[in-house]
Amino acid sequence: MTCNEFAGHVGTTFSLGVPRVGIMPLTLVEASRRRGGEGGRVPFSLVFRSSSDETWPHSTYQMTHPVMGRIDIVLAPFRRVENGVDYVATFD
């Protein structure tokens, strides 16, 4: 996966499978490149926003997107926002 693959989907909804909760919608709000990386791979991070006040633990989650399909991704709570919680995924 690359930052460019996600960048075109900023503002779209991903469905997140949360154990014992069900499917929750997350909106991709940011896809940004980071410094560093070796072997040609550019590190990047993604920020997803939940409209739920509940915070889920740092873990690997299964997400689906209408265009990108199924993705297993490690998410960590990042920050509380006015109407929910942001989660971050980093790729080195």
User: pLDDT digits over 53-84, tens only?
Assistant: 889 999 999 999 999 999 999 999 999 999 89
The angle subtended at Cα 19 by Cα 63 and Cα 47, nearest 5°, is 40
CA-to-CA distance for 41 and 90, rounded, in angstroms?
Answer: 13
Q: Return the higher-pLDDT residue of 19 and 69.
A: 69
Q: Examine the pLDDT at 35 and tell me if it is beyond 90.
A: no
Mean pLDDT, rounded, of the chain: 91
The pTM assigned to this predicted structure is: 0.89
